Amino acid sequence: MNSVLREATSKSPFVSFDPKSGVLELKGRSIPENALDFYKPLMEWVDAWTATQPEKTELHVQLEYFNTSSSKCLLDLFKRLEKLGAKAVVVWKYEADDEDMLEAGEDYEAILSVPFEMKEV
């Protein structure tokens, strides 16, 4: 599988999906004009990735802000990782003073079966 690397823009996050390490990363701001257009290729990559039954997958999410349409896409992305069971973990990173982002991570954790780790940065 090929890696995915996208630089951040003012409306979309930095993306790094590395099949060698099993670490997937989203970082920055997610307010693209069309979230589905942005996230669809990432979801397809994750579908292909989970089909390989990797030993370990870590999705590191450190977003400073995301809009409603991005929220739905993130949920879909997390649901794809649920297929891996205990072999997957979402590492939800948030700023110490950003209670909204912490709560967003806790909300995702409450409705998903994929394990979450909350990390203050």
- The class (CATH top level) of 4-120 is alpha beta
pLDDT tens digits, the chain, 121 residues: what are they? 899 999 999 999 999 999 999 999 999 999 999 999 999 999 999 999 999 999 999 999 999 999 999 999 999 999 999 999 999 999 999 999 999 999 999 999 999 999 999 999 9
Q: What is the pLDDT of residue 23?
A: 97
8 Å CB contact between 63 and 93: no
Q: What are phi and psi of 54, to 5 degrees?
A: -65, 155
Tokens of 18: 């590395």
Tokens of 105: 């991570």
8 Å CB contact between 17 and 4: yes
* Global confidence as pTM: 0.95
> How far apart, in whole angstroms, are the C-alpha atoms of residue 1 and residue 48?
8
Q: What is the pLDDT of residue 93?
A: 98
> How far apart, in whole angstroms, are the C-alpha atoms of residue 9 and residue 97?
24
State which H helix or E strand residue 98 sits in. none
Q: What is the pLDDT of residue 12?
A: 98
